[in-house]
């Protein structure tokens, strides 16, 4: 009888029940003890011994996703296992694939490259290795060989599709398909990148590169349809069997708008759904007609809510829509309808190189009376001037009346969170630097106030207008008026409030009862750094957050870090058992109403876990801090608090000189993290002026590929002060020490960042994230330096 531990099915199910480093999604406790590690090593040994069949290994296709879920101490054991086989047989393909995958997880992209290249020479079409290449190239951001990178990933996708066509609906196929959809590297995403690269090099008249792009684009077109025949074949069959009304004329606007609206109700928004060819063709005719009509009176005849529809269309349809719109825009450069379609189609597809979307900026002036394109630009999270876009949105919306403006304001609060109040709070962090921007923002706040007031005259119970006015009065300091608009959900409507809109607000006071009938209020925690953790016993991801909360609690509780859990459970006995099982020592608010828990509705919680960090003055710092990011944000917040002593560190700069804060005690020190050419140039000017009076600069760079590149850049621009190569934020001790580190997903504290330190080693001022005006920031910095010298 076969042992279950020999089965790929077993290990796939087991490992995917883990969060990371061996922690269970359900319990938050490590599930891989030494005995289980030995069983897993035996499984991999067996798979290596099975060798190669038809050009592929017996390793699980999703191995690159397995590795980060395993305990850190297990990676060297897997590496030793693979190296042992390779010592005996240097051409052992399965061992080479295992070694490449483990090395990539443990060492990163650059250091693992030789292992990957070795495996590619032995088993170039192995699904496990090719899926690793997809994982690897998702994290490839360009460079000199950017076109070659796209060609490589197309070859990888071709190999994966060829392998998939030969598979039945086995666990290995399901494993590969699940990973493929999770990584979202598709022929269409590569097509999107190639189109951006082609446009860039066409401007520079690089004929050879443009030709290579065109050849790769043709291959993308073929693979887009090949993908449908492999990973989406079940969806195609479902689409054929799904009864749809398709006999209406594509010129019938009412029919097609109703049809588009029906996509949500019919479940067609799922990524695996594919419309039948007949429906696609008719829908394309409809859109082409609307694009050809262009713009009339500053508006298109395209259906409203187009950004909501586009993601539900198959990629083949995206391809045809994009190419038709591009062709139309080339013939008619002023065709705003074509520009709008391009902006939406390009933005709503994966672009893992983040090469930008020029069509959004192109569409804004071409459709002068269309607030939808302004809203879409704001919601795209690109590096646009959000204040200017809001001004345009307000101007265009108000041309249709204040009722129209209140509609767009509700959408901003509901879907984006980038509101005038949100921007105003950010600007007020540095009022001297942002004086002109603050004036412009106040005008928008006044307009929003008028629009909400008019809306409430028409509909006194409008939930978004009530909340919006409360937000406005709070930001203007009108406390009594703000309290007239309670932050409670309307009982008769479904409401969603984008949680980003809470960031920067003061936490409203609330009172509640814990699971053990203890009364608790937010004001009890005044002066504390507070984490609100919305969670539930049935939420596996909530359990996986507990170790990170405990770690932050252990490290910072003695300095005033507190936690309040807010349970969305309905069963009190199960909650108490959960608290006991995980040894949770902080209070748990509980009212037994599940998703209708009063505080969950109050704060607009729509998914779990949701963790809110509240500063000591009651300001909401973050509403989405999870995993290792929590400890990093707490560390940065506490380290950079004005008046706190900055911890010492020891490092060597790019010139080989020893650097530490203690060496410069008695001087004013700027500790700068990241690299912004404009800001560092401004700092150079301050350094030259005040260095002889006791001002020092220490810059720590994270992210550049190696120290030589940093050294060359600093030398070329003759930057002043000490410059330290910090390496990757993922592993850098300096990043971790100051709360600037990141986990496998992202960092919570934005760069560039700085800490200005007085001659006693204490914080004068700190900041993270980009500034609106480097010159105004530098003037403020110089003033502080001069004051403290």
Q: Domain-by-domain residue ranges, the chain?
A: 4-234, 241-482, 506-635, 640-788
| pLDDT surpassing 50 at residue 268 | no
Question: Token match 């200005």: residue?
Answer: 756
pLDDT at 95: 93
What dotted CATH number matches 640-788?
3.40.30.10
Look up residue 248 and give its two tokens: 């209406």
Other CB atoms within 10 A of residue 612 CB: 23
Please state, in angstroms and rounded to a whole number, the distance separating the CA atoms of residues 29 and 699.
39
User: Which pLDDT score is estimated for 403?
Assistant: 76
How far CA 289 is from CA of 149, 253, 284, 338, 755, in Å, comes to 37, 11, 9, 11, 57
Least confident window among 181-195, 358-372, 406-420, 510-524 = 181-195
Residue 128 to residue 47: CA distance in whole angstroms: 12
Instruction: Provide mean pLDDT across the span 335-345.
Output: 91
Strands of the sheet with 722-727, listed across from one edge: 722-727, 695-702, 668-673, 753-757, 763-768
Own/partner long-range contacts of 418-422 (Cβ < 8 Å, ≥24 apart): 418/378, 418/379, 418/386, 418/390, 418/500, 419/448, 419/468, 419/471, 419/501, 420/390, 420/444, 420/445, 420/448, 421/445, 421/448, 421/471, 421/472, 421/474, 421/475, 421/501, 422/500, 422/501, 422/503, 422/504
**Helix, strand or coil, per DSSP, at residue 302:** coil
3-state secondary structure of 1: coil
Token pair listed for 782: 């110089």
The pLDDT of 427-450, averaged and rounded, is 90
Between 27 and 455, name the one with better pLDDT: 455
Q: What is the mean pLDDT of residues 193-198?
A: 81
Q: How far is CA 674 from CA 383, 700, 705, 769, in A?
A: 18, 6, 13, 10
Task: Give the pLDDT band (50/70/90) at residue 346.
Answer: confident
Q: What's the pLDDT at 235?
A: 47
Is 487:444 a contact under the CB 8 Å cutoff?
Answer: no
CB of 186 within 8 A of CB of 228?
A: no
pLDDT of residue 494: 45
Distance from C-alpha of 71 to C-alpha of 424, rounded to nearest angstrom: 44
CATH architecture of 506-635: 3-Layer(aba) Sandwich (3.40)
Phi/psi of residue 48, each to 5°? Answer: -65, -40
- Is the pLDDT reported for residue 697 higher than 90? yes
| Number of neighbours of residue 541 by Cβ within 10 angstroms | 17
Q: Is the pLDDT of residue 328 over 90?
A: yes
Q: Determine the pLDDT at residue 316.
A: 81
Res 331: pLDDT = 93
Whether 129 has a pLDDT exceeding 50, the answer reads: yes
Mean pLDDT of 8-14: 69
Contact status, residue 223 vs residue 319, Cβ threshold 8 Å? no
pLDDT(111) > 80 = no
Query: Mean pLDDT throughout 349-359?
Result: 55
pLDDT at position 246 over 60: no
Contact (CB, 8 A) for 744 and 20: yes
**CB neighbours of 35 closer than 8 A, spacing ≥ 6?**
none
Instruction: Summarize the confidence of residues 679-695 as an average pLDDT.
Output: 92
pLDDT of 415: 79
Cβ atoms of residues 674 and 753 within 8 Å: yes
Asked if residue 297 has pLDDT above 50, the reply is yes
- CB contact at 8 A, 353 and 196: yes
Q: How far apart are the C-alpha atoms of 23 and 26, rounded to whole Å?
A: 9
As beta bridge partners, residue 695 has 668
Question: Which segment, 78-92, 152-166, 269-283, is predicted with the most confidence on average?
Answer: 78-92
86, pLDDT greater than 60: yes
What are 486-495's pLDDT values in tens digits?
544 443 344 4
Residues whose CB is less than 8 angstroms from the CB of residue 365 and which lie 6 or more positions away in sequence, other chains included: none
Quick check: helix, strand or coil at residue 511? Answer: strand
Q: How far apart are CA 162 and CA 189, in angstroms?
A: 19
Collapsed DSSP state (helix, strand, coil) of residue 724: strand
DSSP class of residue 619 equals B
| DSSP state at residue 6 | G
Asked if the model's pLDDT at residue 744 lies above 60, the reply is no
| Both structure tokens of 556 | 């910072």
Residues 6 or more apart whose Cβ sits within 8 Å of residue 121: none
Across residues 457-476, what is the average pLDDT?
Answer: 83
* pLDDT for 732: 78
Average pLDDT, the chain: 81
Dump pLDDT digits (tens) for 525-583.
999 999 999 999 888 788 888 999 999 999 999 999 999 999 999 999 999 999 998 99
**SS3 readout for 35-84:** HHHHHHHHHHHHHHHCCEECCEECCCCCHHHHHCCCCCCHHHHHHHHHHH
**How far is Cα 632 from Cα 636, in angstroms, rounded to an integer?**
6
115 within 8 A of 145, measured Cβ to Cβ: no
The two structure tokens encoding residue 655:
């010139």
Flag the least confident range among 64-73, 165-174, 514-523.
Answer: 165-174
Residues in the chain, total: 789
Q: Could you please report the per-residue DSSP string of 158-197?
A: HHHHHHHHT--S-HHHHHHHHHHHHHT--HHHHHHHHHHH
With 0-12 CB in 10 A as exposed, 13-18 as middle and 19+ as buried, what is 484?
exposed
| pLDDT confidence tier of residue 285, bands split at 50, 70 and 90 | confident
Checking if the pLDDT of 354 tops 50, the result is no
Check if the beta carbon of residue 692 is closer than 8 Å to that of residue 720.
no
pLDDT of residue 355 exceeding 50, the answer is no
Residues 6 or more apart in contact with residue 653 via CB below 8 angstroms: 659, 722, 723, 724
Give kind and range of the element (H or E) at residue 476: none
- What 3-state class would DSSP assign to 750? coil
Backbone phi, psi, residue 590, to 5°: -150, 130
Question: Residue 249 has what pLDDT?
Answer: 46
Q: How many CB atoms lie within 10 A of CB 12?
A: 20
Least confident of 179-188, 232-241, 731-740: 232-241
Q: What is the pLDDT of residue 318?
A: 85
| Model confidence band, residue 237 (pLDDT cutoffs 50, 70, 90) | very low
Task: State the pTM of this model.
Answer: 0.62
pLDDT range class, residue 785, cuts 50, 70, 90: very high
CB 504 within 8 A of CB 619: yes
Is residue 267 scored above 60 in pLDDT?
no
CA angle 138, 144, 148 (to 5 degrees): 60
What pLDDT is attached to residue 276?
64
User: Positive or negative CA dihedral for 304, 306, 312, 313?
Assistant: positive
| Secondary structure of 373-430 in HEC code, one letter for each residue | HHHHHHHCCCCCCHHHHHHHHHHHHHCCCHHHHHHHHHHHHHHHCCCHHHHHHHHCCC
Whether residue 348 has pLDDT greater than 70:
no
Domains 506-635 and 640-788 equal at CATH topology level: yes
């Amino acid at each position: 009888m076969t042992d279950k531990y020999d089965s790929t099915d077993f290990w796939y199910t087991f490992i995917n029940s883990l969060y990371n480093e061996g922690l269970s999604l359900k319990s938050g406790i490590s599930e891989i003890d030494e005995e289980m590690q030995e069983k897993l090593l035996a499984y991999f040994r067996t798979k290596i011994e099975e060798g190669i069949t038809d050009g592929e290994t017996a390793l699980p296709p999703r191995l690159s996703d397995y590795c980060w879920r395993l305990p850190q101490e297990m990676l060297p054991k897997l590496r030793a296992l693979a190296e042992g086989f390779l010592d005996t047989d240097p051409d052992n393909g399965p061992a080479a694939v295992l070694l490449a995958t483990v090395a990539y997880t443990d060492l990163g992209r650059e250091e693992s490259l030789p292992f990957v290249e070795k495996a590619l020479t032995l088993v170039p079409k192995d699904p496990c290795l090719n899926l690793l290449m997809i994982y690897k190239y998702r994290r490839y951001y360009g460079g000199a060989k950017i076109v070659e990178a796209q060609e490589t990933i197309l070859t990888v996708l071709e190999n994966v599709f060829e392998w998939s066509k030969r598979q039945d609906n086995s666990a290995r196929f399901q494993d590969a398909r699940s990973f493929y959809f999770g990584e979202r590297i598709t022929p269409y995403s590569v097509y999107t990148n190639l189109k951006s690269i082609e446009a860039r090099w066409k401007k520079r008249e690089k004929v050879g590169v443009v030709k290579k792009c065109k050849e790769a684009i043709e291959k993308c077109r073929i693979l887009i349809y090949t993908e449908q025949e492999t990973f989406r074949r079940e969806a195609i069959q479902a689409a054929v069997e799904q009864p749809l009304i398709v006999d209406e004329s594509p010129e019938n606007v009412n029919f097609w708008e109703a049809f588009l609206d029906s996509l949500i109700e019919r479940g067609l928004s799922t990524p695996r759904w594919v419309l039948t060819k007949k429906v696609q063709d008719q829908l394309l005719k409809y859109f082409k007609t609307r694009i050809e009509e262009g713009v009339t009176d500053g508006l298109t005849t395209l259906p409203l809510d187009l950004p909501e529809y586009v993601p539900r269309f198959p990629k083949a349809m995206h391809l045809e829509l994009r190419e038709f719109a591009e062709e139309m825009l080339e013939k008619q450069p002023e065709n705003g309808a074509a520009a709008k379609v391009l902006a939406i189609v390009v933005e709503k597809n994966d672009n893992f190189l983040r090469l930008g979307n020029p069509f959004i900026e192109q569409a804004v002036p071409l459709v002068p009376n269309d607030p939808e394109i302004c809203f879409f630009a704001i919601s795209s999270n690109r590096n646009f001037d959000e204040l200017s876009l809001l001004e345009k949105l307000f101007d265009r919306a108000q041309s249709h009346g204040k009722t129209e403006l209140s509609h767009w304001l509700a959408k901003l609060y509901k879907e984006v969170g980038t509101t005038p109040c949100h921007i105003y709070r950010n600007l007020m962090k540095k009022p001297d630097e942002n004086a002109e921007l603050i004036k412009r923002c106040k005008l928008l706040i006044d307009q929003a106030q008028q629009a909400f007031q008019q809306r409430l005259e028409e509909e006194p119970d409008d939930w978004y207008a009530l909340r919006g006015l409360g937000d406005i009065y709070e930001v203007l300091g009108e406390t009594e008026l703000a309290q007239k608009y309670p932050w409670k959900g309307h009982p008769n409507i479904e409401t969603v409030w984008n949680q980003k809109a809470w960031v920067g607000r003061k936490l409203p006071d609330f009172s509640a009862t814990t699971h053990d009938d203890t009364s608790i209020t937010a004001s009890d925690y005044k002066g504390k750094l507070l984490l609100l953790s919305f969670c539930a016993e049935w939420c596996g991801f909530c359990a996986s957050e507990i170790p990170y909360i405990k770690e932050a609690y252990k490290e910072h509780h003695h300095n005033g870090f507190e936690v309040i859990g807010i349970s969305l459970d309905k069963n009190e006995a199960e909650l108490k058992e959960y608290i006991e099982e995980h040894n949770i020592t902080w209070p748990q608010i509980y009212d037994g109403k599940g998703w209708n828990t009063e505080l969950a509705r109050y704060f607009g919680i729509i998914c779990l876990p949701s963790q809110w960090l509240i500063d000591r003055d009651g300001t909401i710092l973050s509403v989405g801090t999870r995993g290792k990011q929590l400890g990093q944000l707490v560390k940065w917040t506490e380290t950079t608090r004005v008046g706190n002593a900055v911890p010492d560190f020891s490092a060597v700069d790019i010139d080989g000189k020893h650097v530490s804060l203690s060496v410069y005690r008695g001087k004013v020190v700027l500790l700068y993290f990241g690299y912004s050419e404009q800001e560092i140039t401004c700092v150079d000017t301050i350094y030259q002026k005040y260095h002889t009076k006791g001002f020092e600069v220490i810059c720590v760079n994270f992210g550049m590929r190696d120290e030589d590149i940093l050294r060359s850049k600093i030398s070329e621009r003759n930057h002043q002060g000490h410059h330290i190569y910090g390496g990757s934020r993922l592993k850098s001790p300096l990043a971790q020490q100051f709360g600037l580190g990141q986990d496998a997903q992202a960092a919570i504290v934005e760069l560039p960042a700085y800490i200005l330190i007085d001659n006693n080693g204490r914080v004068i001022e700190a900041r993270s994230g980009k500034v609106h005006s480097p010159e105004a920031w530098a003037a403020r910095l110089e003033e502080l330096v001069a004051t403290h010298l």
